Amino acid sequence: MSAISASEKVDGFTRKSMRKAQKQRKSQGSSQYRTHTAPVELSPLPQLKDAPSTEQQELFTQKLQQCCMLFDFLDSVTDLKSKEIKRATLNELVDYVSTNRGVLVEPAYPEITNMICTNIFRVLPPSDNPDFDPEEDEPTLEAAWPHIQLVYEFLLRFLENPDFQPSIAKRYIDQKFVLQLLELFDSEDPRERDFLKTILHRIYGKFLGLRAFIRKQINNIFLRFIYETEHFNGVAELLEILGSIINGFALPLKAEHKQFLMKVLIPLHTAKGLALFHAQLAYCVVQFLEKDPTLTEPVIRGLLKFWPKTCSQKEVMFLGEIEEILDVIEPTQFKKIQEPLFKQISKCVTNPHFQVAERALYFWNNEYILSLIEENIDKILPIMFGSLYRISKEHWNPTIVALVYNVLKTLMEMNCTLFDELTSSYKADRQRKRKKTSIISSMADNISACNNECEFRGSRHLVLIIIIIWTFMLF
Amino acid sequence: MTLKKITGFAKQEQIRNSSEIHGFAKGRRRSKLREGEGPAAAAFWQKPRSVAPQRHSVTATVSKMAGADGDDSLYPIAVLIDELRNEDVQLRLNSIKKLSTIALALGVERTRTELLPFLTDTIYDEDEVLLALAEQLGNFTMLVGGPEYVHCLLPPLESLATVEETVVRDKAVESLRKISQEHSPVDLEVHFEPLVKRLASGDWFTSRTSACGLFSVCYPRVSSTVKAEIRQHFRTLCSDDTPMVRRAAASKLGEFAKVLELEYVKSDIISLFTALASDEQDSVRLLAVEACVSIATLLPQEDLETLVMPTLRQAAEDKSWRVRYMVADKFSELQKAVGPEITKNDLVPAFQNLLKDCEAEVRAAAANKVKEFCENLPEDNREQIIMTHILPCVKELVSDTNQHVKSALASVIMGLSTILGKDNTIEHLLPLFLAQLKDECPEVRLNIISNLDCVNEVIGIRQLSQSLLPAIVELAEDAKWRVRLAIIEYMPLLAGQLGVEFFDEKLNTLCMAWLIDHVYAIREAATCNLMKLVEKFGAEWAQNTIVPKVLGMANDPNYLHRMTTLFCINALSKACGQEITTKQMLPVVLKMSNDQVANVRFNVAKSLQKIGPILDSNALQTEVKPVLEKLASDTDMDVKYFAQEAISVLALA
């Protein structure tokens, strides 16, 4: 308590970054519901490569069993010797399955999967920091990583071994295994999620029978993330896997996949932490549209429905995604959505946040989009004109004003007559409005003049109502 | 979108005419919406002049609002209806919120035949609009013609119960539950129950989750064959392959069990409960723990052991900390539900384990329940159980590594003293209180201090006072102002319990130091604290101990401190009485009217207004009035304002 500096006492509101700097990077043990028995001390076994080939298999099994012993890494002083033995053994096992042929005999499968399950499947601990912000805060790292990393490494080498037989392994790598694996994607440790991503991808590739199940479970995780918890650390990784899965979908797309796009991927855009996985999400969406261009209209309408209302950062991301979609859009599809889409874009260019306006105006630097606009200039120009003309006069940011001039110039070159028509009608409109304003203000003056003569204060309300009605009548 | 497709306005002309009359020309937008008129909507617009008799009162008020003169009294309603399809979400939302007005104006029949079909189609709208709609429809029974026709509300609510957004769905279910009560038993079977069935067998998970909340409201009022069907549907949903649905079912399991006949609770619910409690997802398992409370309450004592306890034991040792947390969180409810015998044999060891859990979250939740758990133990051997089983765990928690655990414990531990009595408290609990009073975390100390009254009743506060003092002093100087604020609030209580001598000796300086704190909230609380102390210790005490110090601050170079003097005077004058106020306080206030800081001067005016009623009229006329008059001609406009206000309130003009 006494260690608080005088400045902090005066200020009271120490900056967040300062407080964060004081916190040190923490690591966390997994929430193994520990049985209260202490681990037995391990004794080193002979090296596999030194054993005669007849005994190698037996020794391999023994080593796998030895690696099922779990240690408490939060306590950095106990069992040091045993921890080191296990680490060395795991290293040796990784080496053994990746360099040797013919080691994956059928009886080894249950031992291998048992060792893997015991080590990696654990309940993730409660987050240290309940309002963990993945963009700002340092993640809590897994304390047992020195061992767990090697187990993941081993699992990966096991799956990639040329002798690996999915037909035998599917008895052990089953739905339950996958489910537990998927739950681990919530780990705060990015190193772990990275391993999981590669591993799940291999499993998806090798076990045809698990594919639909994996997709469905990912679906469930996303839906829960969107509508229930809003918290899951591994969304980006899962989307990355899905990106390559979607790439491999056969045509025509199954209803199930379309439903996934519309009911899961599009609502995923509403998530608070969109910035963390937007790149992967946009990639998935574009993959779908490249497969089946007829999905363009519903997708864009979906994005327009969920268009951010207050978060400028997200709005910039949405605009980025729209540009990616427009990059691959077919002209016939473009015609179907141009009106609602450009109404939104027209709102974006007038956004007072210059990054939003700028991002929208960058569309005019894109050759393909430009050609689409030119083809449909008679539809698009009337939608865009008012906003562009107005911000060319009114936007506070000089860069935006400069960009708008260029855009207006480009549009003018596309259809000069229409542009002139719009200019004159816009001006006339403005003039009419200005006239109305002056009429209203003169009326207001009149009213206030007669109001002064009124004896009853209550009549003011009446006058106000009259003003409102006149205002309505004029517009 | 779809919204526009279904709009259909055969009555465009009519509307446009009336718009012109009233000058709200929105014709351009409306004409765009004209394509694709539907028959229902067309009817909606064809006979606007022949609306039911209620129209008069509603429309009359609305037209008054619009400032129109009743030529076309339906017009405002037409605007509301028109805005139901406006492109601007906010306008649609406003209109939906006035839906009952629209319905009232249309009359029951047209509401049923025209408005409701239209609303059923709006479910493609923004979630915000849908939420408002779902809420409105729950109160619509009278507007569609009373209970006889209430089933007309089912189609739109059914669609709303299938949308993705959880809040909309939940609201739709809430409204459905509400109107289910208004169905006659026959209608319930003919209209409501089929809806529940349709939802329960929907393709997408959203409708199935919604169905889970509807079983319990219709079950008690249907025939036994339908009951059997409902049970079957619930069973199916409990083993649904999406975890979202299983979660919904698990969360309604307790509620459903309550409306079931006991034999079915035993035959159906228990097996579902057991299955959900061993679900592969911990998010489902933890909800089963909640259901456990209601189920255990329903069953006779002799069945609990075989039907519920195995599952509960398993939950208390679940490998997921979330499930164990839930058990800890619901522990008191569980304890009451299973009764004293099982508590003694099973829950005591389970509680010990939770208090020693490896996750701090679980320990904190359990620590929160210590007092309640001990209170509810069977009285015959309560003391023995606490002393041998609970107290050792509590002792360990006092030095827990996690501050949340310690502060959870600190907020309840004092309550144990009333249960254990004087001797045990002194021997066993006192050392723990003292240890917690020295804890490094301010929250822990604060929680102890805030519960001092429980101990006071049992052993008197003197036992603690030696350790209390350093703890209070440290909290009083804590760097976080919220901590300081919290301790100030306990000062009157402490002062009362420690007595005036102890207070004068040890705490008085603290109370005065708060008056010059750099945070306004603290100075304000300190002022209020002084007032409460004076109320407790009396005017004489105030005159001797605090008034001189407060008045001394009037000469402080810092104007904020000078203002604090004024604030203190405002607070204290009443408690101190006329004599002290007139003789000691008033001269100081008057002198401060010459302060060079305007804020001080206008606070002088405010203070005079406050203490004026306590003074006698002589002092008011001869002393206060001249000063206020001088202030009323101050150069600063705020000073003038408050001086004038004081003059008029004190009637000195």
**Residue B277 is which amino acid?**
A
Does A305 contact B282 at a Cβ distance shorter than 8 Å?
A: no
Does A469 contact B23 at a Cβ distance shorter than 8 Å?
A: yes
User: What is residue B16's predicted lDDT score, i.e. its pLDDT?
Assistant: 33
User: What is residue A30's predicted lDDT score, i.e. its pLDDT?
Assistant: 59
Please report which helix (H) or strand (E) contains residue A28, including its range: strand A27-28
Which of A9-13, A384-388, B496-500, B581-585 shows the lowest mean pLDDT across its residues?
A9-13
What is the percentage of chain A residues whose pLDDT exceeds 70?
Answer: 84
B442 touches chain A (CB under 8 A): yes
What's the rounded Cα separation, in Å, for the pair A252 and A351? Answer: 40
Q: Which residues on neighbouring strands pair with residue A142, listed in sequence order?
A: A28
Does B359 contact A465 at a Cβ distance shorter than 8 Å?
A: no
Q: Which residues of chain B have a CB within 8 Å of the CB of A32? A: 358
Average pLDDT (A146-168) is 90
Residue B187: CA atoms inside 13 Å, Cβ hemisphere, count? 15
In degrees and rounded to multiples of 5, residue A28 shows phi and psi of -135, 140
The two structure tokens encoding residue B62: 């609305």
Does A31 contact B359 at a Cβ distance shorter than 8 Å?
A: yes
Q: Is the peptide bond before A125 cis (omega within 30 degrees of 0)?
A: no
Q: Which residues of chain B have a CB within 8 Å of the CB of A220? A: 242-244
Q: What is the pLDDT of residues A90-148, one digit of tens each?
A: 988 898 888 888 788 888 889 899 999 988 998 888 877 766 676 777 888 888 888 89
What's the rounded Cα separation, in Å, for the pair A262 and A260? Answer: 6
Residue A19 has pLDDT above 90, yes or no: no
In degrees and rounded to multiples of 5, residue A123 shows phi and psi of -80, 130
Does A126 contact B359 at a Cβ distance shorter than 8 Å?
A: yes
Does B244 contact A466 at a Cβ distance shorter than 8 Å?
A: no
Hunting for tokens 């391990």 — which residue is that? A42
Q: Which residues of chain A have a CB within 8 Å of the CB of B520? A: none
As to burial, measured by CB atoms within 10 angstroms (0-12 exposed, 13-18 middle, 19+ buried), residue B146 is exposed
The two structure tokens encoding residue B536: 């407790």
User: What is residue B453's predicted lDDT score, i.e. its pLDDT?
Assistant: 75
**Residue B544 is which amino acid?**
N
Residue A185 has pLDDT above 80, yes or no: yes
Question: How far does the CA of residue A365 sit from the closest CA of chain B (Å)?
Answer: 31
- Which residues neighbour A453 within 8 Å (Cβ) at sequence distance 6 or greater? none
Does A123 contact B165 at a Cβ distance shorter than 8 Å?
A: no
User: What is residue A31's predicted lDDT score, i.e. its pLDDT?
Assistant: 57
pLDDT grade for A184, boundaries at 50, 70 and 90: very high
What's the rounded Cα separation, in Å, for the pair A426 and B334? Answer: 72
Residue B562: CA atoms inside 13 Å, Cβ hemisphere, count? 23
Q: Which residues of chain A have a CB within 8 Å of the CB of B205? A: 223
Does B282 contact A301 at a Cβ distance shorter than 8 Å?
A: no
Q: What is the pLDDT of residues B46-62, one digit of tens each?
A: 333 333 333 333 333 33
CB B634 within 8 A of CB B601: yes
Give me the residue from B165, B242, B474 closest to A220, CB to CB: B242
Question: How far does the CA of residue B575 sit from the closest CA of chain A (Å)?
Answer: 33
**Predicted TM-score (pTM) of this structure:** 0.76
Does A223 contact B481 at a Cβ distance shorter than 8 Å?
A: no
Q: What is the pLDDT of residues A195-238, one digit of tens each?
A: 999 999 999 999 999 999 999 999 999 999 998 888 899 999 99
Please report which helix (H) or strand (E) contains residue A88, including its range: helix A80-99
Q: Which residues of chain B have a CB within 8 Å of the CB of A126? A: 321, 359-361
Dihedral sign from CA coordinates of B51, B52, B53, B58: negative
User: What is residue B46's predicted lDDT score, i.e. its pLDDT?
Assistant: 34
Give me the residue from A32, A305, A473 closest to B23, CB to CB: A473
Q: Which residue does chain A place closest to B89, by CA atoms? A: A305
Q: Which residues of chain B have a CB within 8 Å of the CB of A10? A: 518
In degrees and rounded to multiples of 5, residue A448 shows phi and psi of -65, -30
CB B268 within 8 A of CB B233: no
What's the rounded Cα separation, in Å, for the pair B577 and B286? Answer: 61
Give me the residue from A4, A176, A469 closest to B280, CB to CB: A176
User: What is residue A452's predicted lDDT score, i.e. its pLDDT?
Assistant: 55
In degrees and rounded to multiples of 5, residue A103 shows phi and psi of -90, -20
Does A31 contact B165 at a Cβ distance shorter than 8 Å?
A: no
DSSP A207: -
Which of A121-135, A319-333, A443-457 shows the lowest mean pLDDT across its residues?
A443-457
pLDDT grade for A178, boundaries at 50, 70 and 90: very high
- C-alpha dihedral over B471, B474, B475, B477, to 10 degrees? 160
Question: In this structure, how many other beta carbons lie within 10 angstroms of the beta carbon of residue B418?
Answer: 14
> Count of A–B CB contacts within 8 Å?
70
User: What is residue B237's predicted lDDT score, i.e. its pLDDT?
Assistant: 92
Residue A305 has pLDDT above 60, yes or no: yes
Interface of A with B (CB under 8 A): 1, 4, 8-10, 12, 31-34, 123, 125-126, 176, 179, 216, 220, 223-224, 227-228, 263, 267, 301, 305, 465-466, 468-469, 472-473
Mean pLDDT in chain A?
Answer: 83
The low-confidence residues of chain B, meaning pLDDT below 70, are 1-77, 123-124, 461-463
Which of A22-26, A48-52, B371-375, B640-644 shows the lowest mean pLDDT across its residues?
A22-26
B383 touches chain A (CB under 8 A): no
pLDDT grade for A438, boundaries at 50, 70 and 90: confident
Q: Which residue does chain B place closest to A270, by CA atoms? A: B165
User: What is residue A304's predicted lDDT score, i.e. its pLDDT?
Assistant: 93
